[in-house]
A and B are shown apart, each in its own frame.
Chain A
Amino acid sequence: MALLTTRDLTKHFGGLAAVSDVNLDVFDGEILGLIGPNGAGKSTIFNLITGIHKITKGNVTFNGQEITGMKAHTIAQLGIGRAFQASTLFMRLTVFQNVFNACHMNYHEPAWKSFLHTPRVRKEEKEIRRKVMEILEFMGLADAKDRLAQNLPYGHQKILGVSIALATEPKLLLLDEPLCGMHPEETAVVAALINSLRKRGITIVLVEHNVEAVMRLCNRIVVLNQGKKIAEGTPVEVANNQEVIEAYLGSGEEVC
C-alpha cells in the first residue's frame, strides 16, 4: 500500500512551471530516491508535500488521508518529518537543546499545565530528555551533545538535522540532500544511518545528487527533469533508461 501518493502535482511560480503533473507513489518501508539535475523540482516537491508552498494543481494523500492544502504544522503532526537541504538548525543552541526543542509533539500533558510545572509535567519532561539522549546515541551525536550547533563540523550538522526530524517520530521522512558535501567516509556512515532508520520502520524519500550512493541505498528511484517525471523504477532500470542517460547522467553535470 502506498504511504504517500501525489496525483498531477503541479506548482507554478509566476509563469514558471517548477513541477508539472508529477505522480509519485511512496510505499511503506521503502527508500525512494528522487534524482534529477538542478532545477528539476525535487526540493519544490518536498515543499509541496510538507505544505510550505501552496499546491497549484493536483493532490497529495498521506496514509489514506488527503493532505492537500493543509498547514505545514498539521502535516508534520500527521507524521511527515523533514530534514532540510541547507543546515537548517537552531544554530545558537546546543545539540541537545536542538533535539529537545524539536520534541514539541511528544508532550501529552496540555500546554497550559506545563506552565505550572506539575509533577506529571516534570516526569514527562524527564522522559522526553531520555528520548532525546536515545536519538543522539542512535545518531552518534551523544558525545557532542553540549556543543553549539553552529560549532559542529558540517557532516555533524547534517546528522543533527536528521536527528531533529527524528524527534517528531515521523512515519515518512523526507531527506533533502543528506550526503551533499560529504567525503566518501562520511557518506558511508550517513548511508548506513539512513539504512538503519528504514530498519526502524521509517519510510524515506531521498533527494540526492550523489548518484552512486542513491543507486546503492534506494529500493526505487524516480527521475525528474524540468519539473516532469521522466523515469521510475529500480536502480538498474533507471540506470539503463535512455532518456535518463540523456537528460541527466549523460549531461555529465554533478553539481551539489
Chain B
Amino acid sequence: MFNAAGKKTQVITTAILIAVGLLIPFFITSSYQLHLIIMLFINVVLAMSFSMLISTGLITIGAASFWAIGAYTSAILVLNYDLSFWIALPLATLVTGLVALALGAVIVRTPGVAFVVQTMVVNMIVVQALGQIEYLGGWGGILGIPAPDPIGTLRFSSKVTSYYLALFLLLIIVLAFAALYSSRIGRAWSAIRLNPRLAQSLGINLFRYRLIAFVISAMASGVVGSFYAHYFGTIEPGTFSVFKSIYVQIYGILGGLNFFIMGPIVGAFIMTLLPEFLRIGKEIEPILTGAILVLLVIFLPGGILSFPEKLSAMRQPSRKIWQDKVITKKDGS
C-alpha cells in the first residue's frame, strides 16, 4: 500500500480502465448492451458503498434504500418543483446524506448483527413507504421522468451521452473514494475494521468514523439514484427491494471484501454481464447467483481478487512459518 511499485500499478490500472471506459461506445453500438454497461456502472457504485461500510466493520443489507431515496428525491424535485436535473442531482445527494445522518445516528451505535437487521428493516420500510404513499407514486412508481437537461448542444436523451455521464459520475466517485481510503480517515476505518478495541485505545471515535462512512456511502448511492431516475425515466418501488441490496452485497463479496474499489468493479462486472452472456432467463438467474456464491465461499472466501494471493500461498506453503528468533536490540538506546 505504501511502496512505489504498488502505486505505479494502481496508476496504470486506473489509466487502462479509464481508456477502456472512454472507448466502449465505439465498439459496442447495440443500445441494449450499452444499457447493460450503464446499469453495471450503477451497480459498481452501489457495491462500492457497501464496501465502504465493510471497511469500517459494518455489514449492510440496505444498500438499495439510499439508492431509492436519491432516485425519488431527484424525480420529485424535477417533476413537482421544476428544478433542473443539474440542481436536483446535488440536492438529492444532500437529502440522501441527511437522511443517512439522522438514521445512522441511531443505528450505527449498535454495530454487529443489530446493524445488519436494522439496515434490512429500513430497506423494507423504504420500499413499503414508496409503495403506500400516493404522493410518491404508489406501487406503480413515477413515470415520465425527463432526461437530464441538455448542456449547450450536449443532449442526454441518447444512450451514448447517458453512458458518458454515467462514466463521469463513476469516475468522480471512484476518485473520491480512493482519496478517502488513502487519507487518515481511511486509516482510521481500517483500524476500526481490523481491531475495534485497539482502535478505540488509539483515540479513534468508533461511532463518529462509522457514521462518516455511513453518510458518505449513502451519498454515493444517492448520486447514482438521481442519475438512474433520469436515465431510465421510470422508477418503481420494486427496483429498490431488499433483493437488490442482497445482490449488491454479492457484488462486493464476489470481487473480494478486502478490495474496496476493485472488488466492487470486478464483482459487479461479472454479476451484471455473466447472465447476459450465458443468455439465462431472469427466472433462473438467482440459481446461478446462489451457485456462484456457494462455490466462492467454499473455494475462494477472499473473493476473486484474492486469487493471486492464494496461489502464491499455495506455492510456498512454508512462507508463513518464521523461525522464532531471539529479540536482539542494538546497544546505546
Contacts and interface: CB of A to CB of B under 8 A. Distances in A.
Interface residues of B, number: 36
A114 B202 contact: no
B2 interface: yes
A88 B206 contact: no
Given A88-B198, A114-B183, A115-B179, A77 B203 contact: yes
Question: Main SS of the interface on chain B?
Answer: loop
A104 interface: yes
Nearest to A88: B198
Contacts of B271: none
A92 interface: yes
Contacts of A189: 327-329
Given A167-B202, A168-B203, A93 B194 contact: yes
A101 B183 contact: no
A64 B269 CA distance: 58
Nearest to A153: B324
Interface residues of A, number: 54
Given A140-B329, A189-B329, A116 B1 contact: no
Interface stretch (B11-19, B85-93, B185-193, B226-234): B185-193
B197 interface: yes
B330 interface: yes
Interface in B308-333: 320, 322-330, 333
B198 A90 contact: yes
Given A52-B200, A114-B183, A102 B2 contact: no
A256 interface: no
B50 to A, nearest CB: 20
Nearest to A72: B200
A84 interface: yes
A196 interface: yes
Contacts of A72: 200-201
A168 B202 contact: yes
A4 to B, nearest CB: 16
A245 B188 CA distance: 46
Contacts of B327: 140, 153, 155-156, 159, 185-186, 189-190
Interface in A87-139: 88-93, 96-97, 100-102, 104-105, 107, 111, 114-117, 121, 125, 138
B195 interface: yes
B134 to A, nearest CB: 40
B204 interface: yes
Interface of A: 50, 52, 71-74, 76-77, 81-82, 84, 88-93, 96-97, 100-102, 104-105, 107, 111, 114-117, 121, 125, 138, 140, 150-156, 159, 164-165, 167-168, 183, 185-186, 189-190, 192-193, 196
Given A88-B195, A104-B184, 8 more contacts: A71-B205, A72-B201, A73-B200, A76-B203, A96-B2, A107-B184, A114-B185, A140-B328
